[in-house]
Copies of this chain bind each other. A is one copy, B any other.
Amino acid sequence: MDQLLPSGLRAAGLSAGIKKRSAPDLALLTADEPVPAAAVFTRSLLLGAHVPVCRAKLERTGGRVRAVLVNAGNANCSTGAAGREDNERVAAALAGRLGCSADEVLFLSTGVIGARLPMDKVLAGLEPLVEAARPEGLADFSRAIMTTDTRPKVECALEGGATLVGAAKGSGMIHPDMATMLGFLATDGDLGPEPAALLRRVVDRSFHRTTVDGDTSPNDTVLLLGTGRSGVAVDEAALTGVAQRLARAIAADGEGATRLVTVRVAGAPDEAAATQVGRTIATSPLVKTAIAGRDPNWGRVVAAAARAGVPFDPEAATLDVGPARVYTRGVPHPEAEEAAWKHLAEQAEVELCLDLGAGAAEAAVWTCDLTSEYVRINAEYRT
């Protein structure tokens, strides 16, 4: 399906020879004129070159973007001041070609860290990329930002007269020395007076709730553009929905994953507490290996929750694995384990629902199972 971008936006992707094997690795998203934009960057202290450069540009423009360029295969991270200069130089070249200010061009990188960008290849790719940009280009864009992803990730929604699209790659946690998760959200809706606050709320309920192994990356970035051409305000719930579907897709495509796992935590004192417990369960190697073994292991789930730092009484908690209640108020139900096993064995998307019995708030977090294939991929990645 060739997804049409919201009005006023065009995209493209092509192979510029940055990756070792021939594959699309340079992507472009352009707006017909500078549009309101916001970004959320990694909280890591180790930063890819694009993070400080793009953050400064957004500050200087007050959040306006004309074009977003992305390369995959090289993260331009741990490359020092030279790497930041490389980033600026590429963006300036593209700005010259588009006839806009260099501050209105953001250039993001993802891939292996510790190596300088192949500047000739990146610069040579700009012209054909601009030529190729078109309203149907999101699929090409989404393929050209992939690194070890096994499939591109695109989502869309129509809500209240505005179009929303999103594309993402990788996962903030799963990838080795890849610097890793990139998310793009674009709409012809109006972003309102505070796009940054809007995006922060959306990300807190989507990308920040996806985890594969707890390892965050130096290049993680989520970017939101809004052309405003639809004449209506963007619908926050719909935007959150698109972002959540992308976040789920990232977990489902986790390295070596065979199951997408939704960890739903209910009965929490507040949403932050529910999220914290959910993240602790979702990053537990013991829980994730149990899912790989199709084992409805209530003990590992409750034990992970019990060390999350959120006060609750395990003897008031209840756990469902899919349709099967395996643990109620401190008591396991061995007779329910067959139905739980069946859920884990037969469904590609499985659900753990833990009710803490400590309040009325809830939250969902997404993860995947931990398989031997994950270890193989990450033990053999560079060798």
User: What residues make up the interface of A, taking CB atoms closer than 8 Å to B?
Assistant: 43-47, 77-78, 80, 113-114, 176-177, 179, 213-218, 283-286, 289-290, 292-295, 297-300, 302-307, 311-315, 327, 330-332, 370-372, 374-376, 378-383
Contacts and interface: CB of A to CB of B under 8 A. Distances in A.
Given A312-B45, A314-B45, A307 B216 contact: yes
Contact of A300 (B176, B315, B383): B176
A132 to B, nearest CB: 32
A58 B315 CA distance: 24
Contacts of A47: 314
Chain copies in the assembly?
2
Nearest to A329: B80
A218 B303 contact: yes
Nearest to A380: B293
19 contacts: A43-B307, A80-B315, A80-B331, A114-B298, A176-B297, A214-B285, A215-B284, A215-B285, A215-B303, A289-B374, A290-B378, A292-B379, A293-B381, A293-B382, A295-B382, A295-B383, A370-B375, A371-B375, A374-B375
Contacts of A330: 78, 80
Contact of A314 (B78, B215, B307): B78
B46 A314 contact: yes
A117 B137 CA distance: 64
A85 B71 CA distance: 63
Given A176-B286, A379-B293, A383-B294, A44 B214 contact: no
A46 B294 CA distance: 23
A291 to B, nearest CB: 8
Contacts of A372: 372, 375-376, 379
A44 B303 contact: yes
B375 A306 contact: no
Nearest to A327: B78
A379 B371 contact: yes
A289 B80 contact: no
Nearest to A299: B177
A307 B383 contact: no
Contact of A293 (B46, B215, B378): B378
A80 to B, nearest CB: 5
Given A293-B383, A378-B293, A213 B286 contact: yes
3 A-B pairs closest in CB distance:
A293-B379, A46-B306, A289-B378
A379 B299 contact: no
Given A313-B45, A378-B290, A177 B285 contact: no
A379 B330 CA distance: 24
A297 B215 contact: no
Contacts of A177: 286, 297, 299-300, 303
A379 B298 CA distance: 14
Contact of A114 (B43, B176, B332, B378): B332
A376 B332 CA distance: 24
Given A80-B315, A113-B299, A311-B45, A218 B306 contact: yes
Contacts of A284: 213-215
Could you say which of A302, A315, A375 has the most chain B C-beta atoms within 10 Å of its C-beta?
A375
A275 B367 CA distance: 28
Given A216-B307, A293-B383, 6 more contacts: A46-B303, A80-B315, A214-B283, A370-B375, A372-B376, A372-B379
